[in-house]
Structure 1
Amino acid sequence: MQGFTLLTPARTIFGRDSRFQAADEIAGMGQRILLLRSGSVAWADVLAADLVAWGLEVEVLQSAGEPTVEDVRRSVAKARGMGADCIVAVGGGATVDLGKAVSGLCVSEGDVLDYLGFGASPAPVLQDPLPFVAIPTTAGTGAEATRNAVISLPDRQLKISLRDPRLLPDLALVDPALTDDLPKGLTLATGLDALTQLVESYLCNRANPLTDALCRDTIPAAMTALRQLMEDPAPEAREAMARASYISGVALANSGLGVVHGLAAVIGSRGGAHGAICGRLLPAALTVNRAALIDNGQPADRIDQVDAWLWAVFGTDDAPCHAGQGAEALRGFIDHHGLASLEDLHCGADLWSEIAQSALTASSTKANPVALSDTQITEILAQSASPRNTSRNG
C-alpha cells in the first residue's frame, strides 16, 4: 500500500460567521499581537478592537499585494520591535503568506534572503515559529492550509517559497462570509486558482490515496461552485468555494502541483495575477499533458476524468464527453467571463521561449504527471493564447 504523510493546520474552524470566534481564540494564544491585514477588509478593524477589549496589545500592519523581500523585512522588524508573541493575518493569500513568513523569521537570526538560499552558506533552519492564525478573505490560494510562504524578488524577477512544515497555521479560521463582497473578476480568478490546485494535486506524480480522496470529491464541487458564482454569488456557492480553496491547500501541501503552477511562478514574477494565470493556462495544460502521457505510453485516465467533470459543468450539451472537450468548454467559460489574456498577464509571444525554459526547472513542474520539454511547455502557452468559444457561456 502506498504510504503518505498528512500535514494540516493544527486546528481549523470552518463555517459562516465563525469570524465572531476569532478574538476569543486569539486571546488564548498570546498577549502581544501583530495583526497583518489587507487594506480592503474592513472587518480587520473590528477584530483589532475586539482584541484590545480582551486587554491585549495589538499592532496593525497593512499588507499590499504579494509580499516582497522588503515587505517581509519591514514586517519582521515590526514584530521584533513590539516583542510580538502571536501573528494574525487577515486577508488574501498574499497576506497569509506574509504572516507565515513573519511568524518564522521574527524569532530566527539572519535575513530573509538567507532562508531563501541566497546567503553565502546553505539555508539555515528556522527556529520554532510564533503562534500563527490565518483568516482568509478570498477563496482561492488555500494559503491557510499550506506550509510555504511565497515571497517576490522583483529585482530578480523571481518568486521563491519559504518552506517549513512548522509554517502551517496553528489556527486556520475560514469564514465564507468574508468572501461575500468579492468582485466578480476576483471571484473568478481566485476560484480558478483553487480549481487548478485541486486538479494539479490530483494529476501530479506525488498524488497519494489521501489527496486522491480529497480531490475526487472536491473537484466537481469546485467547478459547480465557480459556475454558480458567475451566475449568482449566493452564500451556498461562496461556502462551497471557500471549502474547495481550503481543501486545495491541504491537497497541495501533501502532494504537489504541476506545470501550470511552474509557469505561474515565472509569469507572476513579471506582474501577472496568479489566479488568472492559472485559469488561463489550465485548459491547454490538460491537453498537452494528455498528449504527452499517451506519447510516453502512460495512461491518461485521470485527465480524461477531469475532462469529463469539466464537460458536465461547462459543456454545451448533455452528449458524452470526447477527449479534450471539457478543457475546451472551460476555456470558453473563462473567455466569456472576461478572464485576462496572456498578453494582459505580461506573457506576450516574444517571451514564451524564455518563460518555458524557466518553468522547466520550477519546483512545481517537477511534480507534473509527465516530464515535458520546453517545446511542449511553449505549446501550452501558444494554445492558451488562441481564442476559443465553446462553452455554454453560462
Structure 2
Amino acid sequence: MKFEFATAAQILFGAGRLQEIGDIAADFGTRAFVITGRTPERAAQLLKILQKKGIGYGTFAVTGEPTIEMVQQGVQQAREQQCNLVIGFGGGSVMDTGKAVAGLLTNGGEPLDYLEVIGKGQKITKAAAPYIAIPTTAGPGTEVTRNAVIKSTQHQVKVSMRSPFLLPRVALIDPELTYMLPPEITASTGLDAFTQVIEPYVSNKANPLTDALCREGMQRAARSLRQVYKHGADTAAREDMAIVSLFGGLALANAQLGAVHGFAGPLGGMFPAPHGAICARVLPYVIEMNVRALQARQPDSLALQRYDEIARMLTGTPNATATDAVKWVQELCDALQVPALAQYGMTAADIPVLVEKSAKASSMKGNPLVLTTEELTEILEQAL
C-alpha cells in the first residue's frame, strides 16, 4: 500500500475563529490582497480586524466563477498595490482565484502556461505568495486542495492549475460565516460537499486516511444536509456541513474524484449552472451506472462493496444495497429542489460534445472504472 496526504500547512476550525485573523495575517505579510465574492460588504469584519492590526490591504471582488481574464486582472492589481499576502474570503470561486493569484505572483507567466488540458501544463516551481483561505460557504472544500479551477470562456470548459505549492498556508473554517446563507446556496454547496465525500470513497486512489474522512463526512451529511436546508439557523447542522466540506476537500485532494466531477467541469464551462447543482443532478445516475458497469465488467471490484457501504451509512439500514443509495440520493435531490440540466439551457444536441470533453477531464481518471461513450451518454440523457 502506498499513498500520500498533503493539505494546507495549518487548518483552524471553529465558530468565532475569524477573530484570530489579525494575528495570523501578521505572521505572513504587511499588506494583504483581499479577494471577496460579489458582495464585498460581507468582508467588512475581516477588513476591520486587519486594519486594527495595522495590516494594509487592497480588495478585489470575484463576481462569478474565476476566468483566465479575471485571474490575470487580480495578479496585476495585487502587484500594483504591492501586496505580499493573499487572503481569500468567500465561496469556492474566491478560494480558487486566491490560489491562482498567489501562485502567479511568484511564478510569473500567464494562467494558460500552467492550466491542464487546454494550456501548456507547465509545473509551478516556486512557492506561492502566502495565502490564507477563509471559506464562507460549506461546500467545495477548496481551502485545503492543491488545485485552482479556472474557466476558459474561449474553450467553454473549466480546468485546473495544479501544484502542491498552491496549498494555502492557513485554512480558517468558521461555521459562523455560513449561518446567513440562503437555502438555494446552502443546497448547492452542501450537495457539492456531499458528493466530495462519496466520490473519493469509491475512487481508484482511495486510501485508509481518506476513507476515514469520507465515512465521517457521509454520516454527518446524511443527518444534517436536509436539516440545514430547511432550518438554516440550526448551528449544529451548520457546523456538521462545514466539517463535511472540509473533509471532502481533504479527501478529493488525496484520493481524486470521479465521473460526477468529470461531467461538472465541461457542464460548468458551457452553461451557467452552479457547480454543486450539477454534481447533485448527475450523482444518482453516475452511482447507478458505475454499479451496473462494475457488475458487468469488474464483479470482484472493491468499489461495488463500497457502494453498498455507502447505502448503509446514508439510510441507516444494515442490509441496504447500492440500489438503496441511488434512491436515497435521488430523494435528497428532490427535497433540495435540484433542477434538471435542461433548466440551464442544455439540450440533447449538446450531449456528444459534453461526453467528449468529460472523457478527457482529469477527475474522470479517479472513477472506479472507465465508462464507455454510451454509458456517459446515458447518464447525461437521464440528467437532462
Shorter-chain TM band: over 0.9
AA of the residue aligned to 2:333: I
Following superposition, the deviation at residue 43 of structure 1 comes to 4.0
Q: Secondary structure at the match of 1:269?
A: helix
Following superposition, the deviation at residue 199 of structure 1 comes to 0.4
AA of the residue aligned to 2:325: G
- Deviations 1:224-245 (Å, cap 9, x if unpaired)? 1102112322000000000110
Q: Is the 8 A contact 2:100 2:166 kept in 1?
A: yes
- 2:319 aligned with 1:304: no
TM-score for the superposition, normalised by structure 1: 0.92
TM-score for the superposition, normalised by structure 2: 0.94
Partner residue in 2 for 1:226: 225
Q: Secondary structure at the match of 1:160?
A: strand
Partner residue in 2 for 1:371: 370
Q: Is the 8 A contact 2:14 2:175 kept in 1?
A: yes
Q: Is the 8 A contact 2:190 2:276 kept in 1?
A: yes
Following superposition, the deviation at residue 29 of structure 1 comes to 1.3
- 2:343 aligned with 1:344: yes
Q: Is the 8 A contact 1:35 1:90 kept in 2?
A: yes
Q: Secondary structure at the match of 1:35?
A: strand
AA of the residue aligned to 1:15: G
> Quick one: structure 1 residues 122 and 352, their matched pair in 2 at CA, closer, same or farther if it must change by over 3 Å?
closer
Partner residue in 2 for 1:4: 3
AA of the residue aligned to 1:307: A
C-alpha separation in 2, matches of 1:135 and 1:120: 28
- Deviations 1:253-275 (Å, cap 9, x if unpaired)? 11100000000011010122110
- Taking the TM superposition and a 5 Å limit, the aligned residue runs for 1:35-114 are 35-40=34-39, 42-114=41-113
Following superposition, the deviation at residue 322 of structure 1 comes to 4.7
Following superposition, the deviation at residue 378 of structure 1 comes to 1.3
Q: Name structure 2 gaps, 5 residues minimum.
A: none
C-alpha separation in 2, matches of 1:247 and 1:58: 31
C-alpha separation in 2, matches of 1:283 and 1:232: 25
C-alpha separation in 2, matches of 1:217 and 1:336: 22
Give the number of aligned pairs: 379
Q: Is the 8 A contact 2:116 2:160 kept in 1?
A: no
Deviates more, 1:222-231 or 1:99-108: 222-231
Q: Is the 8 A contact 1:277 1:345 kept in 2?
A: no
C-alpha separation in 1, matches of 2:34 and 2:332: 38
- Deviations 1:41-65 (Å, cap 9, x if unpaired)? 6441221122122222211111111
Partner residue in 1 for 2:264: 264
> Quick one: structure 1 residues 118 and 126, their matched pair in 2 at CA, closer, same or farther if it must change by over 3 Å?
farther
Q: Is the 8 A contact 1:34 1:79 kept in 2?
A: yes
C-alpha separation in 2, matches of 1:50 and 1:29: 15
- Deviations 1:259-316 (Å, cap 9, x if unpaired)? 000000110101221100001111111110001111013331111111233333xxxx
AA of the residue aligned to 2:310: V
C-alpha separation in 2, matches of 1:67 and 1:231: 30
Following superposition, the deviation at residue 348 of structure 1 comes to 2.3
> Quick one: structure 1 residues 346 and 302, their matched pair in 2 at CA, closer, same or farther if it must change by over 3 Å?
farther
C-alpha separation in 2, matches of 1:46 and 1:120: 38
C-alpha separation in 2, matches of 1:331 and 1:120: 36
Larger relative helix fraction: 2
Q: Is the 8 A contact 1:267 1:345 kept in 2?
A: no
AA of the residue aligned to 1:85: N
C-alpha separation in 1, matches of 2:169 and 2:120: 30
Q: Is the 8 A contact 1:136 1:173 kept in 2?
A: yes
C-alpha separation in 1, matches of 2:366 and 2:285: 17
Q: Secondary structure at the match of 2:106?
A: coil
CA RMSD of aligned residues (A): 1.8
Deviates more, 1:81-90 or 1:122-131: 122-131
C-alpha separation in 2, matches of 1:340 and 1:121: 36
> Quick one: structure 1 residues 64 and 126, their matched pair in 2 at CA, closer, same or farther if it must change by over 3 Å?
farther
Q: Is the 8 A contact 1:267 1:346 kept in 2?
A: no
> Quick one: structure 1 residues 359 and 121, their matched pair in 2 at CA, closer, same or farther if it must change by over 3 Å?
closer
Q: Is the 8 A contact 1:185 1:339 kept in 2?
A: no
Q: Secondary structure at the match of 1:383?
A: helix
Q: Secondary structure at the match of 1:343?
A: helix
User: What percentage of aligned pairs have identical amino acids?
Assistant: 37
Q: Name structure 1 gaps, 5 residues minimum.
A: 313-317, 386-394
Q: Secondary structure at the match of 1:216?
A: helix
- Deviations 1:46-98 (Å, cap 9, x if unpaired)? 21122122222211111111110110010000111122111000000100110
C-alpha separation in 1, matches of 2:76 and 2:110: 11
Q: Is the 8 A contact 2:19 2:49 kept in 1?
A: no
AA of the residue aligned to 2:309: Q
AA of the residue aligned to 1:68: T
Q: Secondary structure at the match of 1:156?
A: coil
Following superposition, the deviation at residue 185 of structure 1 comes to 0.9
Q: Is the 8 A contact 1:309 1:326 kept in 2?
A: no
Partner residue in 1 for 2:279: 278
Q: Secondary structure at the match of 1:218?
A: helix
- Deviations 1:162-182 (Å, cap 9, x if unpaired)? 101111110000000100011
